[in-house]
Amino acid sequence: MTDDRSGSSARHRPPRRQDRRPAAERPATESPRAQRTTDRSRPPQWRQAPLRIEQSECISCDACVEACPSQFGAVFNLGAGGMAILPELCSGCGKCLPPVCPVDCIYPDEDWQPAPEQWWQEPFGPQDPYVQDDGTRRPSGQPTRIRRW
């Protein structure tokens, strides 16, 4: 008796269609960032520690939100909740560091803890600054849709 799991049905499966659209044109919900948001996990190949914002020093200028590359999209302005870097989304690339941050209040967070539940409402939420109105990723260098409080 043959085992169909490894037999003809698998061999005749149609090849998976490759999505040839540039990454920037694909829906942001199909991006690695979306997967990280779903899994709430930080890739082990990211060797740099994530960064954290010292709220007592931060002036909420939003420059770090603008500077964070949209493929990471890790920084959010939570209004009264202050600024948040989701460690699971932060690669530690350092693009938000001075001179971007005018008061030098962003630090490596070697002992990072999982982002609190409330912070996970932001990525892919209605105010996600890294996703454009058409659902694609914000191109680098373009201003974010920063929430004004």
Query: How crowded is residue 65: how many other Cβ atoms within 10 Å of its Cβ?
Result: 23
Indicate which single residue of 90, 112, 129, 144 sits in contact with ligand SF4 (rule: CB under 6 A): 90
| Near ligand SF4 by CB under 6 A: residue from 28, 92, 122, 124 | 92
Does 115 interact with ligand SF4 (rule: CB under 6 A)? Answer: no
> Is there binding between residue 60 and ligand SF4 (CB under 6 A)?
yes
Which position has the token pair 């007592």?
56
| 64 lines the binding site for ligand SF4 (CB under 6 A) | yes
For 68-126, the three-class secondary structure string (H helix, E strand, C coil) is CCCCCCCEEECHHHCEEECCCCCCCCCCCCCCCCCCCCEEECCCCCCCCHHHHHCCCCC
Give min distance, CB of 18 to ligand SF4, in A. 28
Burial label for 17, CB within 10 Å (0-12, 13-18, 19+), is exposed
Nearest approach in angstroms of CB 124 to ligand SF4 is 16
Residue 106 within binding range of ligand SF4, rule CB under 6 A? yes
Roughly how many angstroms between the first and final C-alpha of the chain, as a whole number? 68
Q: Examine residue 68 and tell whether it contacts ligand SF4 (CB under 6 A).
A: yes
Q: Which listed range, 37-45, 61-69, 120-128, 134-142, lies at the site for ligand SF4 (CB under 6 A)?
A: 61-69
Contact residues toward ligand SF4 (CB under 6 A) are: 51, 53, 58-64, 67-68, 72, 74-75, 83, 85, 90-96, 100-103, 105-106
